[in-house]
Amino acid sequence: MASLPTLPVSEVLQPLGNALRDKGIAVLTAPPGAGKTTLVPLFLLDQQWLGNDRIILLEPRRLAARAAAARMASLLGESVGQTVGLRMRMETKVSGRTRIEVVTEGVFARMVLDDPALEGVGAVLFDEFHERSLDADFGLALALDVRNGLREDLRILVMSATLDVDRVLAILPEAPVIKSEGRTFPIALRHEDRPPGERIEDAMVRVVRMLHDTEPGSMLAFLPGQAEIGRVAERLETVLPATTRIMPLYGNLSQAEQKAAIEPVRDGARKVVLATSIAETSITIDGVRIVIDSGLQRIPVYEPSTGITRLETVRVSRASADQRAGRAGRTEPGIAVRLWHAGQTAALPAHSPPQILSSDLSGLALDLAHWGVQDTGQLSFIDHPPGPALAEARALLRQLGALDGEGRLTRAGQTIRNMALPPRLAAMVLAAGETGHAADAAALAVILTEPGLGGSDVDLNERLRRFRQDRGERASQARKLADRLAASAGGSSQAVGAALAGDLLVHAFADRIALRRGGRGRFVMANGRGAELPETERLANASMLVIADLSGKAAQARVLAAAETTRPRVEAALPDAIIREEQSYFDRDSRQLRARRVTRIGAILLEETPLARPTGDLAARALAEGVRELGIEALPFSRESVHLRERLGFLHRALGAPWPDVSDDALLARLDEWFVPYQGDVRGLADISASSLSDGLRGLVPHDLRRELDRLAPTHFEAPTGQRHPIRYEGEEPVLAIRVQELFGLKTHPSIGGGKWPLLLELTSPAQRPIQTTRDLPGFWAGSWKDVRSEMRGRYPKHPWPDDPANAAPTHRAKPRGT
């Protein structure tokens, strides 16, 4: 303890150690720069309860993991790999002496899944947990499950500067909350409002130039993505002096480039670091005393229906804005400038949304199956994975052969899980292993999971070629990873030549096999969605592609990575993907039924031959699809069938099930029950009879209730005169419009359903014009009738207007002549 530097977190280290000793679980909140990432693990090394066990420190990003490991090792006067080790994808530095392992969050989940007892691990520290990555949420759920079931002595610590403590305490109710107050150096917060219409790049260049001229020190500027960083860097290079270095910092850079961005510059020089959210937490960028925050970030949003993850630019949360501002006070007093109006801060969300709510869950579903969990309620998730997205993920895993029909892990699924790859790509490597092309598939998988390797060409064959020629350190590490992945796939070692990327990708992205349709660069995928390429791209003229990566909304998806293929090659690789079948379908233009023999891949139509028009059940079902497409209003309901539907709707609202819901959505959902069985040999919408619709609606009513329909919701009301008048049911209550003279002599209010529901009476004049609305006829006779009579009898002198209508004779005629 004496050899550690004194930082704000130092004051709470002893209480933190005691809390972990006594409770086993704790939460630490400490402002940026407090020293929690480096001091806490080193302090815990000397705790008696730890013994000789190791500490696992989870970091959200590789850059943060490297920086944390290097800083702790330097405080001990050692290099990384001795007391402090590092473990992440493509890089491992540990030894028999290692007591602290800094790992990325995905690596920890794999460690637990492979060794549920976490032998030799005494404490697990979740750093920067506020980022709420999918791997961090899952890792915490696993760690808690291990502690509750196998390792009561396992200590768990959750740390962050801007943590949503209440959400965490919901699953850690007994955890003490330790707070470290204060920041090492003060930060002056400013706002530079960005005028409407000003591009974020323009605003950033403007503010950087202004601060460069008025403030000393280096700068850290937060931008949403690599493209904006590139544009700002290009402009700053032309307007700032040569003594100021412009340093990009984002995930696709090599380790050396990232290291250069965070290291100090030589005396007298300044630097401007242009970074994504990668620089938000856990690292200190030497020399930075000015932070400029665009207030924007780019986050992945997964669409389960398409299997596509798109990047979306959104406002940062208040927690992220505080984290970014805190970077300015790490080594000296600083300035944080926000490119928005001060009043807009309150409108920012408090915290960033957890990734688990908008991510591809196929990897999680695979890990849950390995852990033996079907119901996610068995684990302590802060936010449970959404049911629909999890169901889609499990359906994909079944298609890949990773899960069986019961949701259990198959033998292939176990191999897929063992690879450090997304399930789609792992399945591709496994399939390629059977033909001796595992090495090619593994190289392709690494390119797709390590952005920037092999360049940014859309054509993955070109990326593969460049990757194989790249002699840089990152590419060398990636090739070693690919070799390990290929070896884990097993299979045949006999291969004839190098495999084309398209032949490999079909095993991962069969739903994204795409056919050119509608002009150069326009494609339709097997999942039914469209995709586009710039017309200048070489692949824009390909007849068929396999698409590995897209961006943008589903309706306007832009292809980022793909490879050319052909129908014969798809048939050879995936013979089961080619479907030949006879279809009955609804032709929207003619509103008629058609039949055809087709050859297709998913939604891609390869061949089509017309057949005779369908009949019977096939025709009725095809017609039902047409109704779903056009909407329920396309059906020719008669007045009588509309009235029947309104009566049923009233009973459903009044009594609920089993009286059927006959709303538009409900009827569309149940077309197979009430529509299809009653259509016979119809040939199109024009052949549908209104009586068949009425019969179908009645068929929704349980047999034992059908006699009750007319009693509870009669079509007509019989007046004292013997005349029958229709009852309307289109509103919330039944309505009867009737001439007032026909109700003379009636001393009780008309009702239906055995007196259950009074009718809303719309009383009319002899000319059928409304004169009064009432739900209390006797009250009307005794009350406002006098005023109505006074007004009406002069207007309609030929009709009776008695003083006492409750005791007068009803009539639907005028008075006889001479009376």
Digit-coded pLDDT (tens) for 403-430: 998 889 999 999 999 888 999 999 999 9
Report residue 194 CA to chain centroid gap. Answer: 30
What pLDDT was estimated at residue 330?
A: 75
Q: What is the pLDDT of residue 452?
A: 83
Amino acid letter for position 507: H
pLDDT at 62: 86
pLDDT at position 267: 72
- Taking residues 555-584, report their average pLDDT: 88
Domains of the chain plus CATH, in order, are: 8-179 (3.40.50.300), 187-355 (3.40.50.300), 632-712 (no CATH), 716-807 (no CATH)
**pLDDT confidence bin for 686, thresholds 50/70/90:** confident
Please report the pLDDT score of residue 816 as a whole number. 67
When pLDDT is averaged across residues 761-787 and rounded to a whole number, the result is 93
Per-residue pLDDT at 182: 63
In the numeric block, which tokens belong to residue 502?
A: 């398209």
Kindly state the percentage of the chain with pLDDT values over 90: 60
Q: Across the chain, what does the average pLDDT equal?
A: 89
Nearest alpha carbon to residue 263 among 247, 280, 239: 247
Q: Which helix (H) or strand (E) holds 134?
A: helix 134-149
What confidence category does residue 494 fall into, taking pLDDT thresholds of 50, 70 and 90?
Answer: low
Q: How far apart are CA 457 and CA 54, in angstroms?
A: 43
Kindly tell me if the per-residue pLDDT of 1 is higher than 50: no
Q: How confident is the model at residue 555 (pLDDT cuts 50, 70, 90)?
A: low
Question: Distances in Å between the alpha carbon of 122 and those of 72, 151, 152, 586?
Answer: 19, 9, 10, 65
Where does 138-184 show beta strands of DSSP type E?
A: 155-160, 177-179
Supply the pLDDT for residue 493.
Answer: 53
Please check the confidence at residue 592 and state whether its pLDDT lies above 70. yes
The whole-number pLDDT of residue 50 equals 94
pLDDT of amino acid 814: 79
pLDDT category at 263 given cuts 50, 70, 90 is: confident
Instruction: Band the pLDDT of 713: cuts 50, 70, 90.
Output: very high
Range with the lowest mean pLDDT among 27-41, 694-708, 715-729?
A: 27-41
pLDDT for 518: 79
Q: What is the mean pLDDT of residues 513-521?
A: 90
For the segment 793-811, the average pLDDT, to the nearest whole number, is 92
Segment 290-327, tens digit of pLDDT: 999 999 998 888 777 666 777 788 899 998 898 888 88
pLDDT mean over 749-778: 93
What residues does 563 pair with on adjacent strands? 546
> What does pTM read for this prediction?
0.75
* Residue 746: φ, ψ to 5°: -90, 120
- Encoded tokens for 539: 């692949």
Name which residue leads in pLDDT, 723 or 183.
Answer: 723
Express as a percent the part of the chain with pLDDT over 70: 97
Is the pLDDT at 495 greater than 70, yes or no? no
- Whole-angstrom distance, CA of residue 795 vs CA of residue 791: 7
